[in-house]
């Protein structure tokens, strides 16, 4: 259990550091990427394209292994068809990302800057998560950190 938690923390720190180094915690950079008719900034496309490399390698490794190193099985979605929840979540994500230039990962990494905007975004995001759980009555999933 301890190794899994440390690995998750290390991966989160590495991801956050990548967001900081690539300046993806800067909402202006993200909004400039979305402004295709104005002063378009393609740097986010390069960051996303660069993310495909380790992701592709991870899927190749997954196909060669019976189980991950720190778990008994891989946890990969098997439903290939989009449903209403997925589409609704994607629309909400896209609207929020397009309006303020932040999404959950960069917002949490941007908390290190001390600016009030990421703090407000993160508080609103957490409030939305809590409201979702209470309004739909869904239990918090058990991730089996044993």
pLDDT at position 146 is 45
How far is residue 4 CA from its own chain's centroid?
19
The tens digit of pLDDT for each residue in 53-93 reads 998 998 898 889 998 888 888 887 777 788 888 888 889 88
- Calpha distance 138→128 (Å, rounded): 14
Q: What is the pTM of this model?
A: 0.74
Residues in the chain where the model's pLDDT stays below 50: 145-146
Residue 99 has a CB neighbour count (10 Å cut-off) of 11
């Amino acid at each position: 259990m301890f190794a899994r938690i440390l690995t998750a923390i290390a991966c989160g720190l590495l991801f956050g550091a990548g967001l900081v180094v690539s300046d993806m915690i800067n909402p202006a950079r993200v909004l400039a990427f979305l402004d295709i008719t104005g002063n378009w900034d393609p740097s986010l496309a390069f960051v996303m394209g660069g993310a495909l490399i380790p992701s592709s390698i991870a899927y190749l490794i997954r196909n060669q292994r019976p189980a991950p190193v720190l778990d008994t099985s891989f946890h990969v979605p098997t439903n290939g068809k989009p449903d209403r929840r997925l589409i609704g979540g994607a629309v909400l994500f896209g609207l929020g990302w397009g309006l303020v230039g932040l999404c959950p990962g960069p917002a949490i990494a941007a908390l290190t800057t001390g600016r009030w905007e990421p703090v407000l975004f993160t508080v609103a995001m957490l409030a939305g998560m809590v409201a979702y759980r209470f309004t739909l009555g869904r239990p918090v999933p058990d991730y089996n950190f044993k």
